[in-house]
Amino acid sequence: VVTHEHGLPATVVQTPDDRLASPDVPTLLFYGHHDVQPAAQRDGWVDDPFDPVVRHGKVFARGASDDKAGVLSMLEAVRAYHDAGQPLPCRVRMLIEGEEEIGSPSLAGLIDARADDLRSDVALVCDTAMWDYPGQDHPPDVAITLGLRGLAYFDLRLDGPSRDVHSGVYGGAIANPATELARTLGALFDDDRRLTIPGLNDRVDAVDPQEQAAWEALGFDEHAFAQEVGATLAGEAGFTTLERRWSCIACDVHGLWGGYSQPGAKTIIPHSAGAKVSFRLPASVEPTEVERAFRAWLEARDVGGCRWTVTQLGLARPFRMRPDSPWIEPVRQAVVDQTGRPPVLVREGATIPVGPYLQQRLGLDVLFVGFGLNSDHIHSVDEHIDIDRLHLGARTLARLLHEFGQTKASDAKG
């Protein structure tokens, strides 16, 4: 057990077995996280989120799907070999942390400090979803996620007069921070919903035609995708919904504040206004580049003499894995063995910091293979996981350990 300086535990476990002494037996590094989003029954949970319950074949609890199901599936896979009296087919190391939901601020330092302990041939992360969307006419497919977007998140504050002032006296004569903020946020996009910050769009790489063809073969129903949450499609012109989610920059306003918002009227010009704004970034775009460009763009805006305070709330690098990785084939074999269908190769629009850390700091191919669904209410009330999918995850990972054991580390590196 390794406890790093911030006091939150991270666990590194290596399976000891003299029969695994051969250097050509691969070492798998499994990553998971045990921390979850805050939850309380008053938020709308049917039962106490701290007291797991089983209803209709599902386990309901905080973090049930994200990411306790992934961690439990791997532990059960390892235990299956132990209970059967069989040695593990490959070496297994586990890195389980408790800061993922706040951006893993200590993880990079831990990996650097314990690089020798974590040295492996390939990494596996079970913190992504299966492929299952409206219109699909078969059970969910196991997915290998080859790309995750990065993140750049900011808190904006725009200050104007020294206090709230009467709009009848000052309206039209001084800059209103709320109005100037709205003008600024609206100017982030042109009429085609394309970002107007100079240089950022030029950093986005075109999708490889072979990968593009694989996306088209998924049969994704983009209209049903939007209708499932009561929305209509919108986004940068000239791209499909999957391209917008997986390979384009997305900018979103998460919250707005400023002035009077209670019932009734109060005719003021507020002294300040603010917003939360984030950018999701494809693999070719670095979050530090976005921060520099965004700050420069804001300062260049005419906001009538109002003053910006920009606070960075987090930067995370995007992740992209090569589609020809030799470690994909063992995963494919394991999935076919358990489901009868090969895994689909996808990207995802979300951000998981550990992927770039393991890839860049340890030089590993990182396989994201999860057994959750987007419909599991992840980060929401009544989060749950099907027991059948828990079993599928454990069986598939047990088989995957076998398949990894049949792969020579030297061949994979070659």
Which residues are part of the catalytic machinery?
A: 35, 100
CB atoms within 10 A of CB 98: 18
Residue with tokens 């319950």: 53
Q: Quote the CA–CA distance of 64 and 377 in Å, as a whole number.
A: 10
252-256: list long-range contacts, CB under 8 Å, 24+ apart.
252/277, 252/278, 252/280, 253/185, 253/277, 254/278, 256/181
Q: Quote the CA–CA distance of 50 and 63 in Å, as a whole number.
A: 10
AA letter at 182: A
Residue with tokens 């439990």: 72
| 11: its two tokens | 């666990």
Q: Quote the CA–CA distance of 46 and 61 in Å, as a whole number.
A: 10
Cα dihedral angle (88, 90, 91, 96), rounded to 10 degrees? -80
Pairing of strands 268-269, 272-281: unpaired
| 365: its two tokens | 């191919």
Report which DSSP code applies to 100.
Answer: G
**How far, in Å, are 127, 212, 228, 347 from residue 143 at the CA level?**
11, 16, 21, 9
| Nearest alpha-carbon partner for 61 in 80, 84, 36, 81 | 36
The CA-based angle 366-351-54, given to 5 degrees, is 90
Q: Quote the CA–CA distance of 94 and 92 in Å, as a whole number.
A: 7
| Nearest alpha-carbon partner for 304 in 173, 168, 189, 186 | 173
